[in-house]
Chain A
Amino acid sequence: MQWFAVRKQLRARPRLVLGILSFVLPVLLWSLVSYVPWLWHPKVEITATGDVSYFKSGMLIDREVFVKEEAKIAEAGGTLPQGRPANPIYLPAPHQVAQAFYTAFTTEPKRRNEKWLHESLWSSIQVIFWGFLLSSLFGVPLGILAGTYDLFSRLTEPFVEFFRYLPAPAFGALAVAILGIYQAPKIAIIFIGTFFQQVLIIANTTRKLDASLLEAAQTLGAKNLALLFRVVVPGILPDLYKDMRILLGWAWTYLIVAELIGTSSGITWFITQQARYKNFDNVFAAIMMIGIIGLTIDILLAWLGRNLFPWQRVAARS
C-alpha cells in the first residue's frame, strides 16, 4: 500500500487505525513520562526522612536538593533519607486522571454552597447554549441578508469587520457593570465572541451560492422573498450547518474566559478550585471533559447533518 500518495485517501482500515493512533500516541508519551522512572522525574518523593530535619514522608523535593542533603548526611555519618523519583504534582499519571474522571463526580464539595462537578458542567453547557443561541438568532439572519443584499452588506459588514478585532474578554468589566456578576455577563462574552465572526462567515457562505441558481429561479418566476426563502436559504443550508458546527467550536473556546468574569462559575470554577487544592488529576479530568463534550456534540451534529441533507451525499459510491 502507498502510505505517501499525494492527496489520495488511504483505505478504510488504515484510516481508522491512524485515527485511533492520533489519540493513543499522546497518551503513550504521557504514560512513558509518568511510568518510566528514569524519564524526566525531576522530583524525589520522600519515603523515609532519615536524619534530615525538615523532610517529611510523602514530601516532593527537587532532586538536586535531595542529593545535596543525602551527601551532607553521609559525610556526618547519620541515617540516609530514602526516596523514589517522582514527577511534579501538576503532572499526574494517566491512571490517576482516569480515576479522577470517576472520583471528580463523586467527591462532595468542600463547602455547602459549592457545586458538584455535574452541576458545574451543566452550568457551563447552559452558558454556551444561551450565548450561541442568542448569537445565532441575530447572526444567522443578518449574515444571510448581508450575503444576499448589498444594502445589508454595506450597512453592517464594515462595522462588524472592525468589531471582530476587539477581543471578547475586553468587554468583561463592562459586561459585569451592565449585566451583574452571575450568568448574564458570561453569556454576553460568548455572544460577543461568536456573533461578529458569525455574521461575516455566514455572509460569505451565502455569497458562495451559485448565482446561476438565482438566475434560473428568476426565469422561473421567483421574486424577492421567494428568492430568499426558496432558493438562497435552502441552497446554503448544508454549508450554513457546517459553519455553525465550526462556530460552536469557537464558542467553547471562549467558555473559560467567560466564566472567569464576575463570580467564577461552571467548569472554570471547578478547575481553578481544584488547582487551588492541588488536585491536578481533577484539573486534567475537567479539561478533558470539555474536549470530550465538544467533540461528542460535533460528532452528533455531523451525523445529524448527513441525514438532514440527503442531496449532499455526492456520489460517494463511485
Chain B
Amino acid sequence: MHSIELPSYREQSEQVRQRFERLKQRPVRLEVQALSKDFETPHGVITALKDISFQTHKREFVCVIGASGCGKSTLIRLLAGLETPSRGRVLLDGEQVIGPGPDRGMVFQGYTLFPWRTVKKNVMFGLEMAGRGRMPAEEEAMQWIELVGLTKFADSYPHQLSGGMKQRVAIARALANQPRILLMDEPFGALDAQTRAKMQAYLMEIWKNIDITILFITHDLDEAVYLADRILVLKAHPGEVQELIEVPVPQPRSPQQFLSPEFLATKKRLEELIHPPQEEDANGDHLNMVRMVSVNDDVESVL
C-alpha cells in the first residue's frame, strides 16, 4: 500500500529549522520535572503517569497525543492543579504550581460554561474573581467576545448556542484572565468535523495574534500536526513520554498543508507510535465472522 515515498519527519527545511532554533531560545514558560501520578484503586495502585519531563517555551503551541488511557487528561489536570502529583513537580515561569489558579486558563471538552450566566457574564467571571470593577470587567469581556466573533450573542444563555459557539465562549472566558498558559483538554472532541476544522482555524488565528502559550490535548492526529509546533507523544500503561516531535510543517499553517509531504510524514510517524503493528489477535480482540451466514443475500458480494 505504501507506494508514496515520504521524507523522514525529522527532515526540516531551513526555514523551519531556524524557527525552532529561535523558539528554543525563548524563555521557558512551563517546565514539567519527572512528574508521576499514582491512583489508588480497589485493585491496587495504578500508575497513570510516570516520569514525565518536558518544557514549553513562551508562545509555543504544544500538542499532547497518545492512545486512550495514556493519561493525557491526568497530565493536563496536574498542570491545571486540579490533581496533585505523586512525585515530581510543575514549574510555571520558574514557580512551582500548587492548586488551580487563574494563571493557567483551561478549556474543557464539555464546555463547562455556567448555564445561569449569559455569554458576557461567563466571560466576566474570571475578571470578577480578580476583583475587577463591574464596568471595566464588562468592557474587557466585550473585547474578548468580539475576538471570538460572538458580539451578537453577548446576552444569550449558553443553552441557546451551538457547540462550536459554546467552545468559543469558553476560550474567550479563559483568555480574559490573560493566563500565562492556555490548557486545552480535547476542546474540539465533541464537535462535528466541519465545526472542528473551523474551530482549529479560529484557534490558530487567535494564537498568531495574541501572546499565548498553548498546551493542547487531542487524540486526532491531523489536529495535532496541523496545530502544533511540537507534539508530545505519550505511551500508555504507564503513561510515559515516547517522543517529542518537532513538526516540520512550516508556519503559518493552512488547511492546504494537510497533503504536503512533511505533514504526511509526521502523521505517519504518529501513526506508528500510537498504533504500533501488533501480533495478530493476541487477546482475541477481533470480530468472529466464521459463523456468519448470508441473510437475504439478493446480490452477490463483489469482494
A contact set with B: CB distance below 8 Å: 210, 212-213, 215-223, 226, 230-231, 234-235, 237, 309-311, 313-315
Which of B45-53, B98-106, B216-224, B234-242 lies at the binding interface? B98-106
Taken together as a complex, chains A and B put the C-alpha atoms of A270 and B201 apart, in Å, by 74
B contact set with A: CB distance below 8 Å: 80-82, 99-102, 104-106, 108, 110, 112, 114-117, 125-126, 128-130, 157-160, 173-174, 177, 183
Question: Is A311 touching B82 in the complex (CB atoms < 8 A)?
Answer: no
Taken together as a complex, chains A and B put the C-alpha atoms of A222 and B183 apart, in Å, by 17
Query: What residue in chain B is nearest A213 (Cβ atoms)?
Result: B112
Taken together as a complex, chains A and B put the C-alpha atoms of A216 and B100 apart, in Å, by 9
Question: Is A219 touching B104 in the complex (CB atoms < 8 A)?
Answer: yes
CB within 8 A of A218: which of B82, B110, B183?
Answer: B82
Query: What residue in chain B is nearest A218 (Cβ atoms)?
Result: B100
Query: What residue in chain B is nearest A231 (Cβ atoms)?
Result: B114
Question: Is A221 touching B126 in the complex (CB atoms < 8 A)?
Answer: yes
Q: When A234-B116, A237-B116, A311-B116 are in contact, do A220 and B159 touch as well, CB less than 8 Å? A: no
CB within 8 A of B112: which of A215, A221, A223?
Answer: A215
Given contacts A215-B100, A215-B108, 6 further A-B contacts (CB under 8 A): A215-B80, A215-B112, A218-B100, A218-B101, A234-B116, A237-B116
Residues of B within 8 Å of A315, CB to CB, are 159-160
Query: What residue in chain B is nearest A227 (Cβ atoms)?
Result: B129
Taken together as a complex, chains A and B put the C-alpha atoms of A29 and B125 apart, in Å, by 58
Taken together as a complex, chains A and B put the C-alpha atoms of A247 and B166 apart, in Å, by 35
Residues of B within 8 Å of A234, CB to CB, are 114, 116-117
B123 to chain A, nearest CB (A): 10
Question: Is A212 touching B110 in the complex (CB atoms < 8 A)?
Answer: yes
A3 to chain B, nearest CB (A): 32
Query: What residue in chain A is nearest B102 (Cβ atoms)?
Result: A221
Taken together as a complex, chains A and B put the C-alpha atoms of A283 and B130 apart, in Å, by 62
Sort A-B residue pairs by CB-CB distance and give the 3 closest, nearest first: A221-B102, A218-B100, A221-B129
B145 to chain A, nearest CB (A): 16
CB within 8 A of A219: which of B80, B128, B158, B160?
Answer: B80
Q: When A310-B157, A311-B159, A314-B159 are in contact, do A219 and B106 touch as well, CB less than 8 Å? A: yes
Residues of B within 8 Å of A231, CB to CB, are 114
Taken together as a complex, chains A and B put the C-alpha atoms of A217 and B173 apart, in Å, by 10
Residues of B within 8 Å of A223, CB to CB, are 129
- Say whether chain A's binding surface is mostly helix, strand, loop, or mixed: helix
Question: Is A220 touching B116 in the complex (CB atoms < 8 A)?
Answer: no
A310 to chain B, nearest CB (A): 7
Query: What residue in chain A is nearest B118 (Cβ atoms)?
Result: A311
Question: Is B82 touching A219 in the complex (CB atoms < 8 A)?
Answer: yes
B84 to chain A, nearest CB (A): 13
Taken together as a complex, chains A and B put the C-alpha atoms of A237 and B183 apart, in Å, by 30
Q: When A215-B82, A215-B100, A314-B159 are in contact, do A222 and B129 touch as well, CB less than 8 Å? A: yes
Q: List 11 A-B contacts (CB under 8 A).
A: A210-B112, A215-B112, A216-B114, A217-B114, A218-B101, A219-B80, A219-B104, A220-B125, A235-B116, A311-B157, A311-B158
Question: Is A226 touching B114 in the complex (CB atoms < 8 A)?
Answer: no
Residues of B within 8 Å of A313, CB to CB, are 159
Most chain B CB within 10 A, of A216, A218, A222, A310, is at A216
Query: What residue in chain A is nearest B125 (Cβ atoms)?
Result: A220
Question: Is B129 touching A220 in the complex (CB atoms < 8 A)?
Answer: yes
Question: Is A221 touching B116 in the complex (CB atoms < 8 A)?
Answer: no
A218 to chain B, nearest CB (A): 4
Taken together as a complex, chains A and B put the C-alpha atoms of A13 and B115 apart, in Å, by 32
Residues of A within 8 Å of B102, CB to CB, are 219-221
Question: Is A221 touching B101 in the complex (CB atoms < 8 A)?
Answer: yes
Residues of A within 8 Å of B157, CB to CB, are 310-311
Residues of B within 8 Å of A210, CB to CB, are 112
Query: What residue in chain A is nearest B176 (Cβ atoms)?
Result: A220
Taken together as a complex, chains A and B put the C-alpha atoms of A221 and B103 apart, in Å, by 8
Residues of B within 8 Å of A221, CB to CB, are 101-102, 126, 129-130, 177
A230 to chain B, nearest CB (A): 8
B196 to chain A, nearest CB (A): 20
B248 to chain A, nearest CB (A): 33
B182 to chain A, nearest CB (A): 10
Question: Is B129 touching A219 in the complex (CB atoms < 8 A)?
Answer: no
Residues of A within 8 Å of B116, CB to CB, are 234-235, 237, 309, 311
Q: When A221-B102, A221-B129, A221-B130 are in contact, do A216 and B112 touch as well, CB less than 8 Å? A: yes
Question: Is B114 touching A235 in the complex (CB atoms < 8 A)?
Answer: yes
Residues of A within 8 Å of B125, CB to CB, are 217, 220, 222, 230
Residues of A within 8 Å of B114, CB to CB, are 213, 216-217, 231, 234-235
B156 to chain A, nearest CB (A): 10
Most chain A CB within 10 A, of B100, B157, B159, B173, is at B100
Residues of A within 8 Å of B81, CB to CB, are 218-219
Residues of A within 8 Å of B105, CB to CB, are 219-220
Residues of A within 8 Å of B173, CB to CB, are 220
Taken together as a complex, chains A and B put the C-alpha atoms of A311 and B159 apart, in Å, by 7
Q: When A226-B129, A237-B116, A311-B157 are in contact, do A219 and B110 touch as well, CB less than 8 Å? A: no
